[in-house]
Chain A
Amino acid sequence: MTEPGQTTAASPKPQTGTGRAHAPEVSAAKARRWGAFYYAEQVLRVMKGYGWTIVMYGVGQPVAYLFAMGVGLATLVDSNSAAAFGGVSYLTFIAPALLISAAVMTAANEFTFPVMDGFKWRRVYYGPHASPLTPEQIAAGQIIAVTVRFLLQSAIYFGVVTLFGASPSGWGWVSILIATLAGLAFGLPLMAYAARIKEDKGQFAMVMRFIVMPLFLFSGTFFPLDTLPLGVRWVGWISPIWHGTELGRVVTYGYPEPAWLSAVHLIVLAGLTVLGWVLTRRQFATRMGA
């Protein structure tokens, strides 16, 4: 704490209104235009604080998964049914699925607890809320920052996939963008939900257990969706992981799929993203404007 003497000690003036800061009108105009990016900058600064975790997660996870599944399990799978995966190795088959799933799992973290932190725990959103930024811009800023994380993490993941030789097509890099889109398609509706929560009763753990894990397992990740009985296959159809994975397979190894089906995948992912964004904006504005 402070020394008693400090109270009376002369201290410099903060020089309010010296005219060195630009006029409030300029602040407002800049904020109206760039506000979302100003908030994204803040979130990225916070992320930098756990930057190593992000990088290690980005590198460590694919190495572990690809090695265990793609090399270990694959020796067994490939020797038995080489034709079951469309003539490509098991490693090539699961690599795009793991890439997409990693983005979705990151989404499940980045769009839940930090949102709760913003509204409730440490009330981080209410700082910028008092500045010229709007609630919609705060939401957008967080989305932009997480998108940057998706891109970075997926690029690292894709690099490792390439090192394993699991992306034979020259278009494989497009899977970085697909993973990012899948992350948003899953994450933004979740963000809208997280922004509604007033009391933490372990909802996010439930989301992980009962939504993310089943989607991960039943989205054609480890085996083609067709091999599942029809009664379970719908899980894949509604899953951003499945839509992303199928698209990923098209670009990484030329998985044969009718063009209309690829279009459907893209439309579903884009649709969920837009829907989630709209709901999130609305929820942020309602909750912060009351």
Chain B
Amino acid sequence: MFRVPELAAKESPVESAAESGPAQYVITAENLTKSYGDMTAVDGISFRVPAGEAFGLLGPNGAGKSTTMRMIGGVSQRTSGSLTIMGLDPEQHGPEVRAHLGVVPQQDNLDEELKVRDNLLVYGRYFGLPMSYLKPKADELLEFAQLTDKAKAKVDALSGGMKRRLTIARSLINEPKILLLDEPTTGLDPQARHILWDRLFRLKEQGVTLILTTHYMDEAEQLCDRLIVVDKGRIMAEGSPASLIREYSTREVLELRFGSARNATVGAELEGIGERVETLPDRVLIYANDGEAALEEVSARGLRPVTSLVRRSSLEDVFLRLTGRSLVD
């Protein structure tokens, strides 16, 4: 009896969001499907993204993340299902939907023959923005992307990280409220990735809705409020990074290496330690809430691993649990 009001109170924000209609959710997808001939790239996925959220699509290459992004971006037609962005169907209102968005594609497609600053100006013109707005805006964005001293350089003189930052700066030229980022840091060195994350975090702080795909679990953990784990075009799980880890994994993981020849055989001898034992070709994972205790028990059984490591559970473990496979092959 006492729990009823508490439950009601807990659910009311969700209800009010639902009642106020699509305006509250900037993106809604219902049974979204995309097939290319016999191949189904996206297989009936549904999700809703409220304004200001950082929402991630995590999955291995070929999971259907980019296809989903292209449909949200209004550049790819869905096979079935429904999709709205700011309450608009991108197939009926392509230009209107795209005018709301900033897009960072998986592959940079900057105009390499133009100078860095001109890339921003030209892109802003596609939105019909006047030069009186674009010139100061371009300078401001170059500052944000730490490219001010490269303003007059040709694009092909930039490093990979700089090109990526320029692409992000370009996507912000129309002051979008929704930013789509498809594998924003793939191919970048750790230093460049951290700079990018920092920039994306600032945007999030300003209330920009971020939709990003990634196959890096650390990226998803760093940036996403909520994410869906996608595999073979389907949603495997949904939630915040912490709740997914809580639900599908233990607090800690003990990683043991016995040498590639022995991992498989040792697996059986480890049964019963921790909550679950996962044997991979190169290592054995023991899921336990106390990794050190598990390691002591391994030693107590007289097993001597070549290396051992206790770490916190990550989304990688969630993915492994859900699909039986690793994220990055």
Residue positions of A touching B, CB distance < 8 A: 1-2, 4, 6-8, 11-18, 20-22, 24-32, 34-35, 38-39, 41-42, 45-46, 49, 122-134, 288-290
Contacts and interface: CB of A to CB of B under 8 A. Distances in A.
Among B93, B126, B159, B207, chain A packs the most CB atoms within 10 A around the CB of B126
B140 A42 contact: no
Contacts of B61: none
B133 interface: yes
Given A16-B208, A30-B128, A1 B191 contact: yes
Interface stretch (B141-149, B294-302, B318-326): B141-149
10 contacts: A12-B140, A14-B144, A16-B208, A17-B175, A28-B95, A35-B126, A45-B118, A46-B114, A131-B127, A289-B76
B122 A45 contact: yes
A30 B127 contact: yes
Contact of A130 (B103, B129, B169, B195): B103
Contact of A2 (B114, B161, B207): B161
Given A7-B194, A28-B95, A41-B122, A13 B144 contact: yes
Given A13-B144, A288-B75, 18 more contacts: A1-B191, A7-B198, A11-B146, A14-B141, A15-B175, A17-B177, A17-B206, A20-B137, A20-B175, A24-B99, A27-B129, A45-B114, A45-B122, A49-B113, A124-B109, A126-B105, A132-B126, A290-B76
Interface string B179-207: 00000000000011011001000110011
B75 A289 contact: yes
Nearest to B202: A13
Interface of B: 36, 73, 75-77, 86, 93-96, 98-101, 103, 105, 107, 109-114, 118, 122-123, 125-129, 133, 137, 140-141, 143-144, 146, 159, 161-162, 169-170, 172-177, 191-192, 194-195, 198, 202-203, 206-208
B129 to A, nearest CB: 6
A127 B208 CA distance: 21
- Of A41, A42, A134, which is in contact with the most chain B CB atoms at under 10 Å from its CB? A42
A25 B133 contact: no
A120 B26 CA distance: 32
Given A46-B111, A132-B98, A288-B75, A21 B133 contact: yes
Nearest to B196: A7
A24 B100 contact: yes
Contacts of B198: 7-8
B208 A17 contact: yes
A286 to B, nearest CB: 11
A34 B128 contact: yes
B35 to A, nearest CB: 11
Contacts of A288: 75
Nearest to A289: B77
Contact of A126 (B109, B122, B174): B109
A13 B198 CA distance: 12
Most buried by A among B73, B123, B127, B174: B127
Contact of B126 (A49, A126, A133): A133
B99 A132 contact: yes
A228 B126 CA distance: 51
Contacts of B143: 11-12
A144 B257 CA distance: 64
B141 A24 contact: no
Given A17-B206, A290-B76, A27 B105 contact: no
A36 to B, nearest CB: 11
A12 B107 CA distance: 27
Nearest to B169: A14
B229 to A, nearest CB: 26
A38 B169 CA distance: 19
Contact of A49 (B101, B109, B114): B114
Most buried by A among B98, B170, B173: B98
Contacts of B101: 130
Contacts of B111: 42, 46, 122, 124, 127
Given A7-B195, A21-B133, A127-B109, A27 B161 contact: no
Question: Which 8 residue pairs are nearest across A and B when measured between Cβ atoms?
Answer: A30-B128, A131-B126, A24-B99, A130-B103, A27-B99, A132-B95, A27-B127, A28-B96
